[in-house]
Amino acid sequence: MSASSSLDPIISLIHQNNRFLVISHFRPDGDAIGCSLAMGLCLLNLHKDVTIWNEDGLPERFKFLEEAGRITVPEPNTAPFDVVFILDTAVRNRAGDACLAAIPPGAIWVNIDHHVSNDRLGDITYVDTSAPATGQILFELFAHGRFPVTKAMANALYAAISTDTGSFQYPSTTARTYAITAELVAAGVNVGEINQNLYETCPRRRLELLRALLNVLHFSSEDRVASFALTAATAKNIGTIPDDTEGLIDTIRSIEGVIVAAFFEEVSEGLIRISLRSKNPKIDVCAICAEFGGGGHKLAAGARIMRPLQAVQAEVLGAIDRHIRGAA
């Protein structure tokens, strides 16, 4: 495995090979879906044989993206690939068991990512932790390789960058991010239309879910931490799907005086998914999640823990409190 400081080896692999697989992490967010779609369309435009998989398939809220239907669930007994692109993914098992099991051996793995917790999982790994989204890195790859950016690719990259920067609100957003976005708009992105789809369209059950979560909102660490938890029973009662929870943590993160928000989700009996968000760079939630086998970014991270919900809440909130007191 090698960590590359140059995009050139990746560009060479693209030119030298024909059969490609593009994957990202399960429970995909906008960056994962946008990158997968943009990379896949780029390769298709170069007349490559391209497959795009995600363990959980295409989330409902991204179906509006042009060509998004190319993202499918893994298919077993597939012919070997020359190259596997694993995008916006810091640890290989985040691609999902079914996805990994369906990939025949022998391919060259290329990992492009921006997470500080990346474990250099590819044969070639390109990680830029200063990039606010993996979508920004892909734009630089396309520009460096002189690969044309079509309107469909521009829409996918815009979705990737916009969602992972909190609609350009997070501190990792840079002047370069805005310059790239301007180029995407010039390539055909309709900002009003895509933003309406990304931020102003949701199923009613998502609001029902938010109402249920706010009913169990909990404050701790002298009101500096806000948290809520979703039990499997509540999710079943409302009829939610996994993608419905995406971004709900930002509602409590925005509360005045709160510096860390935590969301606990009972994925199945004994398996708890945690998501943490911080508003204070001194409180590194990636470091907190690393204590539980997870990772991510300094201000946004997550983990999965095999223990009962109440026990996980107590342990994680205790770790957050310890970090807050240590930063005082």
Residue 233's φ and ψ, nearest 5 degrees, are -65, -45
Sign of CA dihedral 283, 289, 294, 300: negative
Shared-domain flag, residues 158 and 236: no
Shared-domain flag, residues 14 and 107: yes
Shared-domain flag, residues 73 and 184: yes
167: alpha, beta or left? (left if phi > 0; alpha if psi -120 to 50): left
Find out whether 277 and 284 touch, Cβ atoms under 8 Å.
no
CATH classification at residue 107: 3.90.1640.10
Shared-domain flag, residues 187 and 235: no
Shared-domain flag, residues 48 and 69: yes
Of 199, 229, 244, which residue constitutes the final position of a domain? 199
Tally of domains within the chain: 2
Of 139, 166, 199, which residue constitutes the final position of a domain? 199
Shared-domain flag, residues 48 and 185: yes
Shared-domain flag, residues 170 and 41: yes
Hey, is 40 helix, strand or coil?
helix
| Pairwise CA distance, residues 41 & 267, whole Å | 32
Of 199, 226, 250, which residue constitutes the final position of a domain? 199
Shared-domain flag, residues 195 and 223: no
Shared-domain flag, residues 163 and 27: yes
Range of the domain at 244: 204-327
List the beta strands (DSSP E) in the chain: 2-3, 19-23, 49-53, 71-72, 83-87, 108-113, 124-127, 218-220, 225-230, 260-268, 271-278, 295-296, 300-306
Shared-domain flag, residues 293 and 215: yes
Shared-domain flag, residues 160 and 19: yes
Shared-domain flag, residues 126 and 57: yes
CATH classification at residue 232: 3.10.310.30
Each residue's pLDDT, cut to its tens digit, for the chain (328 residues) gives: 345 679 999 999 999 999 999 999 999 999 999 999 999 999 999 999 999 999 999 999 999 999 999 999 999 999 999 999 999 999 999 999 999 999 999 999 999 999 999 999 999 999 999 999 999 999 999 999 999 999 999 999 999 999 999 999 999 999 999 999 999 999 999 999 999 999 999 999 999 999 999 999 999 999 999 999 999 999 999 999 988 999 999 999 999 999 999 999 999 888 999 999 999 999 999 999 999 999 999 999 999 999 999 999 999 999 999 999 998 7
